[in-house]
Amino acid sequence: MGLYPPSDPYDTGFLDTGDGNRVYFEQIGNPDGKPVVSVHGGPGAGSPRRPLRAWDPGRYRVIRFDQRNCGRSTPHASDPAADMRLNTTQHLVTDIERLREHLGIEKWLVSGASWGVTLALAYAQQHPDRVSELLLQAVMTSSRSEIDWLYRGAGRFHPEAWDRFRAGVPEDERDGDLLAAYSRLMENPDRAVRAQAAADWLAWEDAVITGEPNGVPGMYSAREVDEQIAFVRICAHFFSNAAWLDEGQLVRNAGTLAGIPGLVVTGRHDMGCPPQTAWELARAWPDARLHISEDSGHVGSATMMQLVRDTIEEFKDQ
């Protein structure tokens, strides 16, 4: 199945969370179509600004939203006054459920990629009766072991880039918890300090994917400075706290997803999120289909995207 003509939002708005945060959302496609919520990555990347093309606009009602403190949600994490204590995995799960209620949706298909997989799983495991299907790409469950691989272990393949990443924190913290050190830098009142730390962090993220099949040089760094600061501030905040999840929690509890069909797709050459986690998740989730794309890294490939589109077509009739 190919792409559909571009579809722009027919509705936009802000969800008031009741604690000073306002979460931006938009709806695209058919107001009477099958509901889908798209959970973006990062954390802190914001939802895509490009028109929707993979989902049939005549059959689907797609909801995209910006997670707390990023994208068009307010307050923005580039503002040092934004309180990160009000941004945790549980806050985001609660926001998704509040958004579902606000929009009057009984059940929806939940789609996520990368960090979005973590959040989609956390939501689905708390609210399985509200999830019709799951579509998960570039699987990450944000366990401490996965986070340690991404921000330390992968340095074995990119030692020069990892050394620059390590050098981005004060010298006396370079042999300690780098993510906590970056998180402290991102709370510095000096914007120049925050901007430099964000640039150093994103240079490492770029290095990890550049050598993969279909890797895009500079993909993470190609953001406006405020977006860079927000992205890294949120990432460092979440990952230095292991997303407030117990080790292995989302895989261990995958049995709660029994009865929910889903696709788990990941790239064989995903340097940031190796396929081991996807394999373990699919084994623990009774109704999951696993596909490891042989020509893909974290960014994906035409083969992977075709599989995803085929699954989207399949799910619209369920």
Q: In this structure, what are the phi and psi dihedrals at residue 264, rounded to the nearest 5 degrees?
A: -115, 115
What DSSP letter does each residue of 136-185 carry, written as one string?
A: EEEE----HHHHHHHHTGGGGT-HHHHHHHHTTS-GGGTTS-HHHHHHHH
d(CA 274, CA 154): 10
Amino acid at the residue 298 = H
| Catalytic residue of the set 73, 269, 270, 301 | 270
Residue 88 near residue 40 (C-beta atoms within 8 A) = no
> Among the residues of the chain, which ranges form H helices?
89-102, 115-126, 144-151, 159-166, 178-185, 191-210, 225-239, 249-252, 276-284, 302-315
Q: What DSSP character marks residue 52? A: B
What is each CA distance from 201 to 62, 132, 162, 191, 211, in whole angstroms? 32, 37, 10, 15, 17
Residue 30 near residue 7 (C-beta atoms within 8 A) = no
114 in catalytic set: yes
| Catalytic residue of the set 114, 183, 293, 296 | 114
298 in catalytic set: yes
| Catalytic residue of the set 237, 269, 291, 298 | 298
d(CA 127, CA 85): 24
- The two beta strands, 131-139 and 262-267, are parallel
Q: What DSSP character marks residue 307? A: H
Active site residues: 114, 270, 298
